[in-house]
Chain A
Amino acid sequence: MRADSWAGLVTNASPFALPPGAAVEQVNLNCSIPGQLQSRGGMRPLAVSPEDRSSIVHCHAVQLPSGTAVIAQRVDGTVIVLGGIAPAAAPSVGFEPQLSVASGQIATSYTHRYADGRYGAAQDAPEPQPRNPLVEALDGGESDTAEWPFVVDSVAGCPVSGKLSVVDGGVARDDELPPDVRESELCET
């Protein structure tokens, strides 16, 4: 499947029948420009005079002699007239939540950074992880294959205890093992 013409969100169809480029979920990515998928912009506060940053549940722009104004209904029902609407100064740096976890805990931020307690700091793109050499070693294979011949335990080594996972499919091609992975680390099941 090659998606280079973004057809946008199509939910009213079987996900198995969607054409390339159609999405079953497309959040905050727009297709306004043909041929590209683009993240939306942010929110810029507007300065108004008199300054009023109360919750506004309804607004209606009108043209007054002094210029454009917005008649705004606050959340408490009161109506105000806001004039002199201009973009306000906006922060340039986004908030980054601190991800601090203890051993055994995993934290995730809204930007999909995470911390799992082993590295002490949030990770964006973790370095190649030695605990997962098998994945690194194998460049192919079928999942859900019951006869996968190896188990991997990069921490405790073979056999058994503390193994991270059971590879349930695939065929290792030893000739393509990367240099930093020893075949001895691949334990037979």
Chain B
Amino acid sequence: MSVGSFSPDRPISCAQGRYGEVIVVQGGGKKPIRIDGTTSRLAGLIAPEAAPEISTISPVAYYIARVDVTRPGAVYYSAPTVTFEQASSGFNDLVLLPPGATPPEFRAAKAAAYLNQSGVSEIVVSDGGKGYAAPPNGVLGDSHGKGAVLTPITTGPSVTDPANNPYTGITQWEVVSQPADTSSAAACGGGNEPRFAATNCVGVDLPITGDGTFTVHSTYGYVRTRIGNGAVCCGFCPPPREPDYTRTITYRVTGASGGAGAVLRLVWNGSTWVQSCSGGGETPPWSRWEGATQVEAASPHKIGAGYSDARTVRVEIDSIAGEQATIVIEGYTAGNPANTESRGYSLTGIRIDNAGSGYVVAPQIKITSASGFGAYATCRVAGGRIVEVTLENGGGGYKTPPKIEAVAGGAEAFAVARPHLRGKYQCYYRYIDDTPESAGGPIPSSLSPVREVDAGEGVAGLAWTVPSLTPGGRATSVELWRTTGNQATTLYRVATLAGGLHSDTLTDDELRDPDRAGYAAMPIVLPNGGINANRFTPPPSDKAVVVRFQDRFWYGVDTGGKQPNTVLFSGVDEPESVPDINEIILQQNTVDADAISALIPFGPTLLIMQARHAYSLSFSKQPVLDAQVVPIAHRGALNQRCWGIHDGVCYVLDQYGIYAISPGGRVEGLSEAIEDMFRSRIDFGKRTWPFLTIDPTTNTLRAFVALRGDGSDGFPTAALCYSLASKAWWIETYPSRIQCATQALLTTGDYRCVFGTPGGLYTLDDGHLDMARGAVVSVKITNPGSGYTSPPTVTARGGSCAKFQAVLDGDGKIRAIWILSPGYGYASGSLVVSDPESDGGVTAVAEYTATTNSADTPLHPTYRYKTGCAEYPSDAQNPKAASVSSRNISLLYAPQRRSCPLSMRLYYNNSPAPRRNVAARNRGVGFTADVVDSAARLDMAANTLKHGEDTGVASAMFAGRTIDDVASADRYVAVELVGARRNTDPVVFYKLDVMGTAE
């Protein structure tokens, strides 16, 4: 099942993250994908283009931001509860709620108090609540010692009548102000001086009960009356007298609240007389003492109880006739500082009337008085009760018993309330997908453009409107983010939704509360200045390579032509977050216009490879800030597929050869022995598909390259192989196009190199049969041609890397065409044979057959080995050679279980064409000469030797001499071994002895 579609023009590049996710890139404008298991999606999420639409929700509502302890209190046996008054919702009058939005409900704030040495030291708000229409008050519980009643024992008067308490009753009255005595003689109808009612025959008692206006109806009836010029009579005088009447005294009392029972007795002073006017009909005439002008004396008739030392009782009596005037009289309790009659006394003891409860520590004994001072007492508690009070000092000057209390409780707190939102808010949203957390998700986008909302002095919330998601897109949700008030550095997640409308009434504290469901905080920038909230840029589509290095994903190898030497990198374990700012640019100091071609994670460094230069990148924490890029070699890499790491050494293929980079950065060339191939035989015009792989099971490095003339379609045609153990090179060819490799753990438990071919995945160097696709398997010469003086070139069309070799006979005809390499991708047809050099010659005609291209055909792997040119000493150099002249060739090999032919051919004087030794013999030791194709043949089967037991030794019997003066004498010989592996056991050669040649 396909998980992605990319261009066939270049290879993809993959890197796997810590959660198993795989990022696949290709460049060329193809968007990278992320593969999870067998599903894939485009990598990264693109940020929204528009800012959110937001309106405010009013009126203001409050929450508790914090609670300050203003008084710690004392003797708390447990932290007091904290409650907040006013539990009404502030949302009753919500307006501007978006359609369909649900008004937030009221939630009571929660806070907990903490004690320190029995006092309240701190109150922590666990839930600021919300929806308070006005700032609420904090109320503390009474979990403190209480109930103790302490009574002072003094030397002062004892209280015998609670209704007339010498301490709380009014024991002194003082006339504060009154008009002057304006007593006058009797006059008809009275004068105009102020008169204050009543009589001075007897006193008048005024009840003092609380504040207010009181009226006393005189019941005395006593009016001083003088009949005629007779004696004055008080009381019920005998007639003639004034008719009976009642006098009413109205007075106002203040400062008496709490008290009761006191009675003020007044004795009047002064007189004004009213005389019966003549003709008034009275007989005899009389004169009446109309009213007092002053108070002569004010005294307590009853002292009452419950009056305050701190408040002076004030009695005001207005005149009832004459000019308006007021008599002001003040009454004092014993403890009132104005009381001049009370005496000070001492505190002699404290009595425990109630031991109380909850006193975990001894409370302070507080003795307070408005008059005395200096008394000091301590107490002892047991079992939460006050069991003993010790008066340490009795003090003095107490006019009333001091107030004694065991100080407990009393803590006070002030709740600091804030509007849900106040000030300016920076609001964003972003997309996220449904990648589970276990896979590193969800994957977010960067933020939308900002929307700043001014909540002024307070609003209840914000109404968000964000676009709905595109069906089928990677984004599955929208996250709303905003700051707290008046800051723009840290964002908090408000909600996650599928788009549309959202009513946001989160308070700032709720927003910051890490225990809130959906809470998340995100600084917009990091402390070091690096971007944070907007780092979620999808991976680039113009980079062809991705690797993972130190938990970051690195993207390089530009395909767009704009950033040839730029490497981008992701955040830590965030392969899909590649902000533009995360870039490293190679600072080229050479005149060579080079470009990055590969990235190699190599131990603690990332090797950044150009085609001809290599750099080492390392960093400590943040690559943007502390990355170091150091050039390490004037070698490069052909492409991202052309490197491998084995045993801690990095092996790389570039256009100069194959080399190794040690962990210390030392570069060592490995391919000097075949260096000419890189100069002239490898087709570096095709750099896209070559690759290098290292087989860990055989320590074999294979560099698959396209050789010139192989007819490559861009893919490799041969493998340059290097044994890391024996340091030897060889070439491998396959009858199928080997296109790629990776190292994988098979279900059998074997860790093998796995190769991709037109037929799927294969292992190489496994079994004894190749799987051919369009390989040339036979050649038939239908016309040997004529006129050839040297072997013609023979080629086939349509496939790749088949190699043929024509062998001539002595008449200028083709005797045979060897298939040196079967190639791949061919369909049966005619070979192309070059024309003969001779005029009148006839071009040979040959056909070939190829295996099918649509299925595997098992073929025996063929091999070929050719030595260098060994020198035959001439007779002049070695006179004895003339008589001996043995040119036998001996081969030591591993006998095969079944038939396994080997051809041996000789090349004289570095000739490109083999030629048989004319002096060959077919005797006894395995090899037989063949005139058809100029080869000597040996069947390495163990049971085919005719002459004796097979020991795996065979000799081709040749002879000859070299005479210096003979033109073209066979002075040098190269031996070629050609064959096919036909059995499960490999063909093994141990020794090749070319006799007669110089050592």
| A interface residues (Cβ-Cβ under 8 A, vs B) | 1-4, 6-13, 15-20, 22-46, 48, 50, 52-68, 70-87, 90-95, 97-99, 101, 104-114, 116, 123-129, 131-132, 135-136, 138-145, 164-170, 178
Are B764 and A43 within 8 A (Cβ)?
A: yes
Please measure, in the bound complex, the distance between the C-alpha atom of A52 and the C-alpha atom of B938, giving whole angstroms: 42
A-B contacts, 27 listed (Cβ < 8 Å): A1-B870, A2-B994, A3-B867, A4-B892, A16-B869, A24-B866, A24-B974, A29-B864, A30-B723, A36-B989, A37-B989, A42-B765, A58-B11, A58-B740, A61-B754, A71-B22, A79-B35, A85-B747, A87-B748, A91-B769, A95-B777, A95-B858, A108-B817, A125-B939, A139-B957, A169-B960, A170-B960
Please measure, in the bound complex, the distance between the C-alpha atom of A105 and the C-alpha atom of B819, giving whole angstroms: 16
Please measure, in the bound complex, the distance between the C-alpha atom of A37 and the C-alpha atom of B859, giving whole angstroms: 21
Are B754 and A70 within 8 A (Cβ)?
A: yes
Are A28 and B861 within 8 A (Cβ)?
A: yes
Please measure, in the bound complex, the distance between the C-alpha atom of A39 and the C-alpha atom of B894, giving whole angstroms: 11
Hey, which chain A residues are within 8 Å of B3, CB to CB?
71, 79-81
Are A71 and B868 within 8 A (Cβ)?
A: no
Please measure, in the bound complex, the distance between the C-alpha atom of A31 and the C-alpha atom of B729, giving whole angstroms: 8
Distance in angstroms from A53 CB to nearest chain B CB is: 4
User: Given the interface contacts A114-B816, A116-B932, A141-B918, does A3 sit within 8 Å of B992 by beta carbon?
Assistant: yes
Hey, which chain A residues are within 8 Å of B993, CB to CB?
1-3
Taking a contact as CB atoms closer than 8 A, the residue among B698, B864, B867 that contacts A28 in the complex is: B864
Are A32 and B740 within 8 A (Cβ)?
A: no
Are A58 and B12 within 8 A (Cβ)?
A: yes
Are B966 and A142 within 8 A (Cβ)?
A: yes
Chain A minimum-CB-distance residue to B741? A59
Are B761 and A79 within 8 A (Cβ)?
A: no
B721: interface (CB < 8 Å): yes
Please measure, in the bound complex, the distance between the C-alpha atom of A170 and the C-alpha atom of B681, giving whole angstroms: 39
B2: interface (CB < 8 Å): yes
Taking a contact as CB atoms closer than 8 A, the residue among A56, A125, A167, A169 that contacts B761 in the complex is: A56
Please measure, in the bound complex, the distance between the C-alpha atom of A47 and the C-alpha atom of B899, giving whole angstroms: 31
Are A138 and B931 within 8 A (Cβ)?
A: no
Hey, which chain B residues are within 8 Å of A85, CB to CB?
744, 746-747, 754, 761
B102: interface (CB < 8 Å): no
Chain A minimum-CB-distance residue to B915? A143
Hey, which chain A residues are within 8 Å of B818, CB to CB?
108, 112
Chain B minimum-CB-distance residue to A48? B761
Interface membership of chain B positions 803-825, coded 1 if the CB is closer than 8 angstroms to chain A and 0 otherwise: 00000011000111111111000
User: Given the interface contacts A53-B760, A132-B931, does A107 sit within 8 Å of B781 by beta carbon?
Assistant: yes
Are B966 and A144 within 8 A (Cβ)?
A: yes
Please measure, in the bound complex, the distance between the C-alpha atom of A114 and the C-alpha atom of B771, giving whole angstroms: 22
Chain A minimum-CB-distance residue to B721? A30
Are A40 and B863 within 8 A (Cβ)?
A: yes
Are A55 and B990 within 8 A (Cβ)?
A: no
Interface residues of B, count at CB 8 A = 173
Are A110 and B980 within 8 A (Cβ)?
A: yes
Are B901 and A125 within 8 A (Cβ)?
A: yes
Taking a contact as CB atoms closer than 8 A, the residue among B681, B748, B920, B988 that contacts A37 in the complex is: B988
Are B733 and A27 within 8 A (Cβ)?
A: yes
User: Given the interface contacts A7-B728, A32-B699, does A141 sit within 8 Å of B760 by beta carbon?
Assistant: no
Are B919 and A138 within 8 A (Cβ)?
A: yes
Hey, which chain A residues are within 8 Å of B757, CB to CB?
43, 55-56
Are B862 and A110 within 8 A (Cβ)?
A: yes
Are B1 and A135 within 8 A (Cβ)?
A: no
Please measure, in the bound complex, the distance between the C-alpha atom of A82 and the C-alpha atom of B910, giving whole angstroms: 49
Distance in angstroms from B693 CB to nearest chain A CB is: 10
Name the residue in B726, B769, B821, B919 with the highest tally of chain A Cβ atoms < 10 Å from its Cβ.
Answer: B919
Taking a contact as CB atoms closer than 8 A, the residue among A9, A38, A44, A53 that contacts B766 in the complex is: A44
Are A112 and B12 within 8 A (Cβ)?
A: no
Given contacts A43-B764, A131-B931, A170-B960, 7 further A-B contacts (CB under 8 A): A30-B721, A60-B12, A95-B858, A105-B781, A135-B931, A136-B922, A142-B963
Interface membership of chain B positions 24-46, coded 1 if the CB is closer than 8 angstroms to chain A and 0 otherwise: 10000000010101101000000
Are B867 and A42 within 8 A (Cβ)?
A: no
Please measure, in the bound complex, the distance between the C-alpha atom of A90 and the C-alpha atom of B856, giving whole angstroms: 10
Of B81-89, B184-192, B671-679, the one contacting chain A is B671-679
Taking a contact as CB atoms closer than 8 A, the residue among A42, A72, A99 that contacts B778 in the complex is: A99
Hey, which chain A residues are within 8 Å of B938, CB to CB?
125
Are B861 and A44 within 8 A (Cβ)?
A: no
User: Given the interface contacts A136-B922, A142-B966, does A40 sit within 8 Å of B732 by beta carbon?
Assistant: yes
Interface membership of chain B positions 846-875, coded 1 if the CB is closer than 8 angstroms to chain A and 0 otherwise: 000101000011111111111111110000
Are B864 and A42 within 8 A (Cβ)?
A: no
Please measure, in the bound complex, the distance between the C-alpha atom of A30 and the C-alpha atom of B865, giving whole angstroms: 10
Please measure, in the bound complex, the distance between the C-alpha atom of A13 and the C-alpha atom of B673, giving whole angstroms: 8
Please measure, in the bound complex, the distance between the C-alpha atom of A40 and the C-alpha atom of B765, giving whole angstroms: 6
Chain B minimum-CB-distance residue to A37? B989
Are B778 and A12 within 8 A (Cβ)?
A: no
User: Given the interface contacts A3-B992, A15-B974, does A57 sit within 8 Å of B746 by beta carbon?
Assistant: no
Are A64 and B20 within 8 A (Cβ)?
A: yes
B780: interface (CB < 8 Å): yes
